[in-house]
Amino acid sequence: METHTFSIPAISCGHCTRAIQNELAEMAGIRSVAGDPQAKTVTVAWEAPATRAKILQTLRDINYPAVE
């Protein structure tokens, strides 16, 4: 299992982190999603078939692009 904390500048409130959590949780292979609106980060744990690239694409698709 892999875990990464993504920096997402577009997060402005708890609603933003919940929206991200809900979208990512629907992806196959996602094990956990924890958001911190004050730090503007989301920590995701996943395993196959989910990949970092798929997570990044989903974040872009829902208008919360991560900054590398």
- The model's pLDDT over 35-56, given as tens digits with 9 standing for 90+, comes to 999 999 999 999 999 999 999 9
DSSP label of 61? H
> CB-based contacts of 42: which residues, under 8 Å, 6+ apart?
5, 6, 8, 11, 17, 20, 21, 24, 33, 34, 35, 36, 66
Mean pLDDT of the chain: 96
Are 14 and 58 in contact, with CB atoms under 8 Å apart? no
When the candidates are 1.20.210.10, 3.40.718.10, 3.30.70.20, 3.30.70.100, the CATH number that belongs to 2-61 is 3.30.70.100
pLDDT of residue 68: 77
Identify any residues that bridge with 37 across adjacent strands, giving them in sequence order. none
- What distance in Å separates the CA atoms of residue 64 and residue 43, rounded to the nearest whole number? 14
